[in-house]
Structure 1
Amino acid sequence: MMIWVILMAMTAAAVMAVLWPLSRAAAVAGQADPDTQFYRDQIAEIERDRDRGMLLPEEAEAAKAEAARRLLRASGARKSGALAMGEPALRRRRAASTLALSVLPIVALAVYGAYGSPHLLSEPPGAQLRRDADKLDLGTAVAQIEAHLARQPQDGRGWEVLAPVYLRMGRSEEAVRAYESALRYLGRDAGRLANYGEALVIARDGMVTAEAQAAFQEALSLDPSSAKARLYLARAAEQDGQPEKAKAAYRDILSSSPPDAPWRGFVQEQIARIDGNQGAAAEAVRKGPDADAIAGMVQGLASRLEAQGGTPEEWTRLVRSYAVLGQRDKAAAAARRAREALAQDRAGLETIDALAQELKLTDSAP
């Protein structure tokens, strides 16, 4: 708010500095009159001619008297004109000054509000610049790393740095490929494998696929204390319809974790949920708070595909959704129904078979 007060005061001062002299009476009355000045110069010239002897004293006095009469008439007309029109002109100038003083700032603010950036004034100095710089720096950094990796694709460290940035940007498929390159060029250690498995889970909408499980199991073989691998394998057991196995895995994680481990609260919630028999494993993997709404959307997709058929991608989405919700029997049934609907589509059948193998829906095989 203070910045607006300062700007208005500066505008008012600038306008007054220009208009104040024009609003004074002296500005009207003090202006030079060319007629009176002419007659004054004429009298001075007569005196000089008399001094040089070009005019007789009598002639000089007669000429000066005539010039003086004309000067008096001109001065009188000047005064009467000033009295007649000086005050109205003064009022008009004062009115123009007031109008300019009020209208100009309003017009300036309106134009600034329409075409400027007034929101910047409501933020701390430099906040917008820092926010834009952060976006620019991230985008620029990613572009630079990508350009470097295009020239030197064997730089495993560059791929490992780029992969989590891709995840942050929501580019999960690219993160998966970046971790694959990092594993290829840097080797398969426990932390790198666990991160790769996590990227696979994120890219598959929270589903711990067979490929992701293999990565977590390999990470666990290299480092039995890998908390990330153990947590995702416990989730995988729950998604596979084995709640008791999942609960045992969670308890094992809890018993071997230090008291200040950041994941203890999460693990305790999973154990309590399974012990409470709250229903399906969907609660462990659901992303939003409204499970009924999610289930409703899945059921709507299933009804439409059953009645009208659909593309391989839509059948894949349905099967994967059932699997994520922990409804493996429905996922297997949807896979069988997809095979029937796509019997004439070889590529579509291959897609469904690959998905069933990935989700370990062995009972859905033909």
Structure 2
Amino acid sequence: MTFWIIVSLMALAAAALLVLALMRARSGAGPAAAYDLRVYRDQLREVDRDLARGVIGEADAERTRAEVSRRILAADAAARKSPDRSGAPQAVTMVTAVGLAVMVIAGSVLLYRGLGAPGYGDLGLRHRIEMAQAARESRPDQGAAEARMPALPPRELDDGYKALVDKLRSTVASRPEDARGHDLLAQHEANSGNFPAAYAAKARVIEIRGEDATPQDYAEYAELMIMAADGYVSPQAERALAAALERDRGNGPARYYWGAMMAQTGRPDIAFRIWEETLRAGPPDAYWIAPIRGQIEDMAARAGVDYALPPATGGAPMLAGPNSEDMAAAADMTAEERQDMIRGMVDRLSDRLASDGGSAAEWARLIGALGVLGETDRARAIHAEAQQTFAGDTEALAQIEAAARRAGVAE
């Protein structure tokens, strides 16, 4: 009620200003002859003042008085002949003023009803934060998020690749305590588009490893759940992200998805701050940097922050080792052709790292690829070399150790 009283008083004040301006304009209006009479009378007084100061002589003063008096008589006669127009214009002015007042008040109310939110309380900062917290606490869980997603057609996979995945599933089922087997299954289930099965396998990896589960394990588990829910960060994914960040505050993927969760629950200010820090921390070639760069300016605008995206800095070249897409594409080849292709990519990546060096992600990829090929001795040697190369870099070593465990060469 207080809001409507204030709005009504403001509208009345605006209307009163308009009426006052119109009435003042009306009161200042008059016939031209009346204005001429005032000017001529002023001229007569000016002649008397000039005569008193000795500026003009008596004869000149008399001639000027006679001419001005003649003009006064003519102007007075014209004023008497002009009709009195004071009634009608004043009535029109009043009607116009009242009409404008009604339009201002009624228009303000109608505009607010169309664009505003009648009856809705003021959304102060504290209220908005409370609403965001309530939305975060009451949002759907993982199962509900997946249930409301439309059914997607299965991915087209080569029969040979599907047979390999089926074999891996049966092998893992017979070895329930094999963490590496479940980790490989999670990767291939994800490659197949079966994200619920992928994050279930990853959950088993974390369960088996217990206290030895790495930040990367938890971040990957959360990422698989988020992919299963088409980008939505559920409470279950949030808990996995929190576990990753508790173990490593600098985990890039976990920080990216934590920012996404904050944006989804009405806290773009926190999302922007997390993403901006993550973007500065880099590395610029990390896979989570590109999505941050693509969204951070919009997030800054939502947070009310004046922000300009810095230019991309040159990072390490794109990884040359085999990734999940390469492995899926290799499904169309014969077994020998797949092995030759993978070995060629691995050799090129190994040669480049030996000669030019590279990021921790590239070293981790090389270790993982060698593990897939079954070259455990070579993977173990690369693992030892990577440990020396990144000695003292906790985040890089964690990434390398995670790849070594997946490859089965970690001590």
Q: TM-score, normalised by structure 2?
A: 0.34
User: Over alpha carbons, which structure has the higher Rg?
Assistant: 1
Which structure ranks higher in relative contact order (CA pairs < 8 Å, sequence separation ≥ 6)?
Answer: 2
Q: TM-score, normalised by structure 1?
A: 0.38
- Higher helix proportion (structure 1 or 2): 1
